[in-house]
Structure 1
Amino acid sequence: MSVLDNFETWKDFLGNRLQQAQDNGMSEGIMNSIAAEIGDYLAANVEPKNGEQRLLADLWNSADENQQQVLASTMINLVKNSKAH
Structure 2
Amino acid sequence: MSVLDNFDSWKSFLANRLEQAKDHGMSHETITNIAHEVGGYLANRVEPANGEQAVLADLWNVASEDEQQAIASTMVKLVQKG
Q: TM-score under structure 1 normalisation?
A: 0.95
What percentage of residue pairs aligned between the two structures are identical? Answer: 61
- What does residue 32 of structure 1 align with? 32
Secondary structure at 1:3 match in 2? coil
Alignment length (residue pairs)? 82
Unmatched 5+ stretches in structure 1:
none
Q: Which amino acid aligns with 2:62?
A: S
Deviating 4+ runs (over 6 angstroms) = none
Q: Find out whether 1:69 has 2:74 as its counterpart.
A: no
Distance (Å, rounded) in 1 between the aligned partners of 2:54 and 2:44: 13
Deviation digits for residues 12-64 of structure 1, max 9, x if unmatched? Answer: 00000000000110000000000000001001110001110011001100100
For structure 2, the 5+ residue unaligned runs are: none
Normalising by structure 2, what TM-score? 0.98
How large is the Cα RMSD of the aligned pairs?
0.4
